Structure 1
Amino acid sequence: MLNVLVSGGGIAGSALAHWLRRYGFAPTVVERAAAPRLGGQAVDVPGVALDVLDRMDLLGPPAPCARGCAACPCWTPKATRSTAAPSTPPAAGGSTATTSS
């Protein structure tokens, strides 16, 4: 198995690591942020991108939209995080990210 280093744990780096692992590589993702983000933003995933998420097996069943807009379909994620988000912001210069075993 070939080891691959992926720099950046955002959408692109995470997707790349997913596909590398699926095709037999051993990716390691490095991220400069000290911890996962505590919040997020609603993301519009149009047509083809929705198909990609489905092929990655990351879509759960459709769910009511938390933003209250009846026109936009919403899905629950199937994926789980590989790190535990801290319940409080990290101290200055400290990291609170923990990896799951």
Structure 2
Amino acid sequence: MVRIQKEVVEEEDFLLTDPTEFHKTVDDQKQWIQRILQNSRETILVAEVDAKIAGWLVFQSPNRVRLNHTGSFGMMISKEYRNMQIGRRLLEALLV
């Protein structure tokens, strides 16, 4: 997942993060995933192709009473797996 995120950040077209600002490690990613999995208001969906991570979608919702009805999602798809409907399938799975 970190490799895909670094790849997407380096494209510079899709994220606000500048490549020089990206310093996430595998341990950072593991801790982030654990926080998401421990929060009932958040979820992460991972897409695999031939047992390789192709991308993921994360939905996060603020832990504030007045924002209970809101949330946001982010998605990253590895360049080699784009245009294969993976993003669409992740969105559909989130909405189900």
Q: TM-score when scaled to structure 2?
A: 0.23
Higher-Rg structure is 1
The structure with the largest helix share of the pair is 2
Q: TM-score when scaled to structure 1?
A: 0.22
